[in-house]
Amino acid sequence: MGTWNFNPAGFVINLVIGWFIMSFLQSAVRSLFTGNWNGFVSRFHGIAFFHDGWATAINCAVMLAIGIVTTILWRLTRRG
């Protein structure tokens, strides 16, 4: 592998896209478990725009865990 250069603009764009995808998936799962599909869009907006505190914390924790695990895996495969 060649050298890797960090691109902050690309990182921010990917982080925002990932945030909205995670918010959409979390609101879909919550709607699936509660059976309340009428509030799907409002739940998605609440999570995506930081209005639902617990759901936002869950989103942050999941994204942080994914970032840590994938970084460790990337470093392990790069070393080998």
The pLDDT score that the predictor gives to residue 61 is 95
Instruction: Look up the pTM and report it.
Output: 0.81
Q: Which two tokens stand for residue 54?
A: 């617990």
CA distance 25 to 8: 25
The average confidence (pLDDT) of the chain is 91
| Separation between Cα atoms, residue 59 and residue 51, nearest integer Å | 12
pLDDT value for 2:
63
Q: CA 53, CA 74: separation in Å to the nearest integer? A: 31
pLDDT at 7 over 80: yes
